Amino acid sequence: MRNTTFTDVSAVHGLCMRCAWAVPLLFGMVFALLTPTPAQAQQVSPGCYQRTYTDAHLRSHPDQVVRSVRLWVGQWMTEVAREGMIEVVPANQGHARGEPWVGARLQQFLICGNEANSPRCQAECGAGSLEVREQGASGMLFRTRDLLVGTTGECGGVMDMAEIPGQWVSYRLNRVPDSACYGM
């Protein structure tokens, strides 16, 4: 192995001294590119999420009105919003008990993005929203206190996902292959 030693570094030193002002600038630019901004870090992750609750779970949560839920978060619609869709199959309990749409697939179109540094999906026409509390490779946890599903000919929906209107309720969904959300 050959050992090379540089004894005349004046040319390199002169070059470095002329561009020394750029080192902090370059470091700052690299740091900014590699560090996510709050808006980037707090976006709703695209993909398909799903959960079907067992009979035992529903018995232990008698106010829960959701038997199963699928959430699809798609691609960017604009620079700040992704398209989304939620589909719920109501359980025959809680405030949904005896309703004619129990067991049907109730859907709602969503617009997902970041509001007040919080990732969320909003339904149109003031039909409510969901707030993403946790998300990762295995799934997400969201909460809502007002989200109407089951689109009608008018704004809104036929069922509120909140067990008690105005009170927070959380749903933990598993990340599933995107194909599980095809056809929504």
Q: What is residue 140's predicted lDDT score, i.e. its pLDDT?
A: 96
Domains identified in the chain and CATH numbers: 39-181 (2.40.128)
Q: What is the pLDDT of residue 54?
A: 97
User: What radius of gyration do the chain's Cα atoms show?
Assistant: 25
pTM of this structure? 0.76
- Tell me which DSSP letter residue 31 carries: H
pLDDT in tens, 73-126: 999 999 889 999 999 999 999 999 999 999 999 999 999 999 878 899 999 888
What 3-state DSSP class applies to 76? strand
Tens digits of residue pLDDT in 145-173:
999 999 887 788 999 999 998 899 999 99
Beta strands in the chain (DSSP E): 47-52, 66-76, 82-90, 106-115, 118-123, 128-136, 139-149, 159-160, 169-176
User: Residue 60: which pLDDT band, with cuts at 50, 70 and 90?
Assistant: very high
Looking at residue 180, the DSSP 8-state letter turns out to be G
pLDDT at 111: 95
> Lowest-pLDDT range, 14-18, 42-46, 55-59, 167-171?
14-18
